[in-house]
Amino acid sequence: MDIILSSASHHAMLFAYLAKRTIETFGDAGREAVTAGVIRYGEQRGRRMALRTQADGNPLDVENYLVYGEWEAFPGQMDLRFPTYTPEVRMENHRCPWHTEWSKRGLLEYGQYYCKDVDAALARGYNGMELKLFANRTLGDDCCDFTFCGCGIPEERMEAFAEKRRRIGNKAKMPWEYHVGHLYSAMHEAITGAFGAEGEAVASQALDDYEKEYGKEARALVLEYAGLDYDAMPPYEGIGS
């Protein structure tokens, strides 16, 4: 059986280890660094989504934001619902691998620092949209409840929206090793930027935790991808190809 070295679950746990080590070591200043890393990560991802959208000649709106997402969880890991698309897109998440991993390991108090900011940062990085989080499962709510403020998809656009999603398929998706490497890159930058050599030691300790959980190959994969330029759009064949 193949050993999975990277996934949404790996992503979740790497974040938890980094956040826990940083907050335990540096307290409130650590919380600020963790938040800065999450925002940096989210805004970079949003900008890459925008670059693909523009490469295909499409406008930067909420419809295309939902088309050009960069990741896809494994089957059965997500339960994402859209109660409304108009006048504003409302999105509910009832199950995700981040909450699943953190809750079963008692790490929700650290995971909350990811969930409270990452989606708003993504939307902001994409086109400056305001995405509000009205409920958060890491804080004990039944679901994560998001609204794209002032942004909707009219009923007459829904057929074209579905067709665009069909055409793009997995072309905009990046492998999980890319996302895990990006997470480490953004968090490492924020932590070492705030705390220098002490921050470097904390990031290394978090990687030790990660290695104990997933093995040396998984750790090496994080570091292999951490050096990429995450402000740049990776090679992309285009929605029309």
Domain of 118 in residue numbering reads as 8-226
Instruction: Say what percent of the chain tops pLDDT 70.
Output: 98
Q: 18, 203 in Cβ contact below 8 A?
A: yes
State pTM to two decimals: 0.96
Written as six digits, the tokens of 26 are 């540096």
232 found inside a domain? no
Give the C-alpha separation, 89 to 78, whole Å. 18
Q: 163, 240 in Cβ contact below 8 A?
A: no
Quick one: pLDDT at residue 2? Answer: 64
Write out pLDDT tens, residues 89-121: 999 999 999 999 999 999 999 999 999 999 999
Q: 18, 34 in Cβ contact below 8 A?
A: yes
Quick one: pLDDT at residue 3? Answer: 76
Radius of gyration of the chain (CA): 18
Q: Tell me the average pLDDT of the chain.
A: 96
Write out pLDDT tens, residues 137-189: 999 999 999 999 999 999 999 999 999 999 999 999 999 999 999 999 999 99
* 3-class secondary-structure state, position 73: coil
The strands making up 90-95's β-sheet, listed across from edge to edge, are 79-84, 90-95, 144-148, 131-135
Instruction: Say what percent of the chain tops pLDDT 90.
Output: 96
List C-alpha distances in Å: 107 to 18, 135, 187, 201, 215.
Answer: 11, 18, 17, 21, 20
3-state DSSP percent of the chain in helix, strand and coil, to 5: 60, 10, 30
What does the buried/exposed string (b/e) look like for 130-146 if buried means 16 or more CB atoms within 10 Å of the residue's CB? ebebeebbbeeeebbbb
187 found inside a domain? yes
Write out pLDDT tens, residues 19-43: 999 999 999 999 999 999 999 999 9
53 found inside a domain? yes
240 found inside a domain? no
132 found inside a domain? yes
Q: 172, 70 in Cβ contact below 8 A?
A: yes
Quick one: pLDDT at residue 1? Answer: 47
Reply yes or no on whether the pLDDT at 4 is more than 90: no
Give the C-alpha separation, 43 to 49, whole Å. 10
234 found inside a domain? no
Query: How many domains is the chain built from?
Result: 1
User: Span 197-204, mean pLDDT?
Assistant: 98
Q: What is the DSSP string of 27-56?
A: THHHHHHHHHHHHHHHHHHHHHHHHHHHHT
119 found inside a domain? yes
Q: 118, 38 in Cβ contact below 8 A?
A: yes
195 found inside a domain? yes
